[in-house]
Amino acid sequence: MDKVRKQDGFRGYLGLTFLIGFGFFTMGLMDPLYDTYVPIFLRRYFNSNAAVGGIMTLDNILQLLLIPLVSVWSDRIRTRLGRRMPFILVELPLAAILFSLLPPMASHSLAALLGIIFCFNIFKTSVRGPVVALMPDTIPGDYRSEANGVINMMGGIGLIVSTLVLARLIGLPSPLGRFFEGALPFNIASLFIIIAVLVLAAFVREKLPENAGKTEERVPVLRSIRQIFSGEALGKGRLEPEGAAETGEKPVKDTSVARILLSIFFWFTAYEGAKPFLGLFLVETMGVSEGNAALAQGVAGISSVIMAVPCGYLAHRLGRRRFIRLSLVALAIILALIPLCGFLGLRAGLGPSASLGIFLILMFLYGAVWIGVTVNSFPMLWQIANFGNMGIYTGMYYTFSQGAAILAPPVTGLIIDLAGYGGIFIFGSLCMLAAWFTMAGVRAGEPQK
């Protein structure tokens, strides 16, 4: 079967990729409902937006701490079900059950709400690393850009279903009874999650590589991390210096992994810094109603779903580093143009609606280009990793991306106070250019064919 798949290229792994994508579909269902309605639940008990915001950062803090730890833990276990599936089969259903309890606990008491928020985030965060690492464990390195495009598309579809379909059911009664009143979207999402777990359990089988057995080296975590940052762990998917093959020159240690991780921090600083304020920007600057405050993210989400798979294929042809750097330049230009939306609309004499239209066009383009960066950055790290430290690389990705998610919003909030909303887009543009610069020295992470 594996030989047939290799002969067919990525098409041979397409069905398996869609099955794994169900795990990402569930994340796309949960995250928007959580981010939208949990602040509303908290405002029943807190008048302070700062208090609500502090509680809402809990998932980012837990992701920074738990994802690397659980990912490394899953690297080291060996069971009949595999390394990742035991975590998925236990933690994802528990997360689904706790997710469905968020609305009733919000109606019960503040203590019950805070308790369920904490427990839900523990399980949802802990399972994310194994869910993400399941794909590179089962899909060959050369096809992971295409596969990551498919699973990102699945996550995007989950986001669209959550925001455009499930969220509209929030006021309808739940068939589960009065206890779950107002929880219908959460109930349906939880049911989808349980179905996704059953699909994964029935059809996805993890396999040990041929060289992973009794002779497999178990590298200590700290030593593995030192190897990653020193360049000792490089080898696969490395861009060799010109003429190295002819002269017999050995690969030199380089800083590719450190550069990729630093780039991830920069571009997520731009992304996470702007994301919390897009709704306020629309309401306070563009005059959009609060009911349409999520319009920008919705438009960007639609274009991301459309472009997720093509971006994986394009990066395979052009090279991941080259494709990411081209995307970063485009993102920097798009972000720099956003503060000019009002000026361009007035200059054209078309009024505020034209300014909004220009902004939404830019957000559509932003989503289409941004997905190209996210689809290909994980595969670069996975290409360098080996079977024994795949989870460590996955965890390091989240350490840097979630570090940016925690640090960026306070910085961009201060920028808004000092320079207005336009400042955060200029700041984001500069961060994208910084990531473009650090990616220049990356010499590893490319597919081999």
Q: What is the DSSP string of 78-137?
A: --TT-SSHHHHHHHHHHHHHHHHTHHHHHHH-HHHHHHHHHHHHHHHHHHHHHHHHHHHH
CB within 8 Å of 134: residues ≥ 6 apart: 20, 23, 84, 85, 88, 204, 206
Amino acid at 76: R
225-234, 288-297, 373-382: least confident range: 225-234
Adjacent-strand bridge partners of 237: 235
What separation in angstroms does the CA of 272 have from each of 81, 82, 312, 425? 36, 34, 23, 11
Q: How far apart are CA 43 and CA 268, in angstroms?
A: 28
What pLDDT digit, counting tens, does each position of 79-103 carry?
787 788 888 899 999 999 999 999 8
Select from 137, 443, 138, 139 the least CA-distant residue to 320.
Answer: 443
Give the pLDDT confidence score for residue 235 in this predicted structure.
47
**272 is written with which tokens?**
């996470």
Sign of the Cα torsion 100, 402, 62, 76 reads positive
Write b or e for each residue in 284-293: b if 16 or more Cβ atoms lie within 10 A of its Cβ, otherwise e: ebbebeeeee
Select from 161, 163, 162, 139 the least CA-distant residue to 151.
Answer: 139
pLDDT surpassing 70 at residue 238: no
Select from 212, 269, 307, 264 the least CA-distant residue to 404.
Answer: 269
Domains assigned to the chain: 1-205 (1.20.1250.20), 221-237+250-449 (1.20.1250.20)
What pLDDT digit, counting tens, does each position of 27-50 carry?
888 888 887 788 778 878 877 666
pTM, rounded to two decimals: 0.77
Position 362 confidence tier, pLDDT thresholds 50, 70, 90: very high
Alpha-carbon dihedral 208, 210, 212, 217, rounded to 10 degrees = -150
Cα 402 off chain centre by: 10
Position 398 confidence tier, pLDDT thresholds 50, 70, 90: confident
What pLDDT digit, counting tens, does each position of 132-167 carry?
888 887 888 778 888 888 888 888 888 888 877 887
CB 425 within 8 A of CB 341: no
Q: Is 346 helix (H, G, I), strand (E, B) or coil?
A: helix
CB 28 within 8 A of CB 159: yes
CB 303 within 8 A of CB 162: no
Adjacent-strand bridge partners of 444: 238
Question: Cβ of 339: how many Cβ atoms within 10 Å?
Answer: 18
